[in-house]
């Protein structure tokens, strides 16, 4: 059985997908870009500010599901420029300090809305 997760504390989906779907105790969070849910727009600033907003969006979805960052088992980070990896990693590392999730990071040509970063996440109960 699957359960659709939606919260006003994270950006609304900008296409035909859900913020997250839970199935059999596994939460699949759709790729989050650095949209401020209060304004519906990309946050100002560079990779650090954008990564911070993405992590806040992930946190809001985790919270809406009754989970937190310690439940995360896998992240996939998409960067529009791999030169931003170290700065992204610095912010990301503040959210995962013990029992870090598995992770992959890829450089991509372009992200939605001109974002510098997108992160998708898998968590378990």
- pTM tops 0.75, yes or no: yes
pLDDT at 13 over 90: no
At a CB cut-off of 8 Å and minimum separation 6, what does 54 contact? 32, 33, 34, 117, 118, 119
pLDDT of 117 reads 98
Question: Are 73 and 67 a contacting pair, CB within 8 Å?
Answer: no
For the chain, percent of residues with pLDDT exceeding 70: 100
Q: With CA atoms as reference, report the closest residue to 47 among 29, 61, 33, 62.
A: 33
Residue 90, domain extent:
2-124
What stretches of the chain adopt beta strand conformation (E)? Answer: 2-5, 20-23, 26-32, 35-36, 41-42, 72-79, 102-107, 117-124
- The pLDDT score that the predictor gives to residue 32 is 97
- Contact, 29 vs 99, CB < 8 A? no
CATH of the domain at 39: 3.30.1330.40
Number of domains into which the chain is organized = 1
The Cα 101–Cα 74 span in angstroms is 5
Q: Is the model's pLDDT at 15 over the cut of 90? A: no
Is the pLDDT assigned to residue 1 strictly greater than 90?
A: no
pLDDT of residue 48: 98
**pLDDT tens sequence across 32-91:** 999 999 999 999 999 999 999 999 999 999 999 999 999 999 999 999 999 999 999 999
């Amino acid at each position: 059985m699957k359960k659709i997760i939606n919260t006003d504390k994270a950006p609304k989906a900008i296409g035909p997908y859900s913020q997250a779907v839970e199935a059999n105790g596994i939460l699949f969070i759709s790729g989050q870009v650095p949209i401020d849910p209060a304004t519906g727009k990309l946050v100002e600033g560079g990779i650090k500010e954008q990564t911070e907003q993405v992590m806040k969006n992930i946190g809001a979805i985790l919270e809406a599901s009754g989970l937190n960052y310690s439940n995360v088992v896998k992240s996939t980070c998409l960067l529009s420029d791999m030169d931003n990896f170290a700065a992204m990693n610095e912010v990301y590392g503040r959210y995962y300090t013990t029992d870090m999730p598995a992770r992959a990071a890829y450089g991509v040509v372009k992200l939605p809305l001109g974002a510098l970063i997108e992160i998708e996440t898998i968590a378990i109960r």
